[in-house]
Chain A
Amino acid sequence: MAQSLAKEFTKGLWAEIPPFRLVLGLCPVLAVTKSVENGIGMGVATTFVLVFSNLLISLLRNVIPSKVRIACYIVIIATFVTIVELVMQAYTYELFLKLGIFIPLIVVNCIVLGRAEAFASKNGPVLSIADGMGIGIGFTLSLAALGAVREILGNGTITIWGGTPIFEMGANFLPFRFMIEAPGAFVGLGLMLCMMNLIGKK
Chain B
Amino acid sequence: MREMISMIVVLTVLTAVSGGLLAAVKSGTEVQIENQVLKFQKAPAIQDIFPEATNDPLAERFTIKTGDIELQVFPTLLSDGSKAIAFETKGGAFGGPIGLMVGINLDTDEIVDVRVTTHSETPGIGSRAKEDLSFVAQFSGLKMDTNFALKGDGGVIDAMSGASVTSKGVSIAAAQAKEIYQKLKPEIVKQMK
Residues of A within 8 A of B (CB): 63-65, 67-68, 71-72, 75-76, 78-79, 82-83, 86-87, 89-91, 93-94, 97, 100-101
Contact = CB atoms under 8 A, between A and B. Distances in A.
Binding site of A, secondary structure by majority: helix, strand, loop or mixed?
helix
Interface in B17-63: 18, 21-22, 25-26, 29, 32-33, 36-37, 39-40
Contacts of A76: 14, 18
Given A65-B6, A89-B36, 9 more contacts: A64-B10, A68-B10, A68-B11, A72-B10, A75-B11, A75-B18, A93-B36, A94-B40, A101-B120
A79 B11 contact: no
B3 A90 contact: no
B29 A89 contact: yes
Given A67-B3, A67-B7, A68-B7, A86 B14 contact: no
Contacts of B33: 86, 89-90
Given A89-B29, A93-B36, A93-B40, A83 B11 contact: no
Contacts of A65: 3, 6-7, 10
A196 B40 CA distance: 41
B64 to A, nearest CB: 26
A102 to B, nearest CB: 11
A182 to B, nearest CB: 11
A71 B12 CA distance: 11
A89 B36 CA distance: 8
A72 B39 contact: no
A59 to B, nearest CB: 12
A86 B29 contact: yes
Contacts, number: 53
Contacts of A93: 36-37, 39-40
Contacts of A86: 25-26, 29, 33
B40 A83 contact: no
Contacts of B7: 65, 67-68
B10 A82 contact: no
A138 to B, nearest CB: 27
Contacts of A82: 22, 25
Given A65-B6, A90-B32, A90-B33, A72 B25 contact: no
B29 A97 contact: no
B161 interface: no
A87 B25 CA distance: 8
A150 to B, nearest CB: 18
A100 B40 CA distance: 14
B66 interface: no
B25 A83 contact: yes
Contacts of B3: 65, 67
A79 B26 CA distance: 12
A139 B38 CA distance: 33
15 contacts: A65-B3, A65-B10, A68-B11, A75-B14, A75-B18, A79-B18, A79-B22, A83-B21, A83-B25, A86-B25, A86-B29, A91-B32, A93-B39, A97-B40, A101-B120
Nearest to B32: A90
A101 B21 CA distance: 22
A87 B14 CA distance: 22
A30 to B, nearest CB: 15
Nearest to B13: A63
B11 A90 contact: no
Given A86-B25, A90-B33, A72 B40 contact: no
Interface in B147-169: none
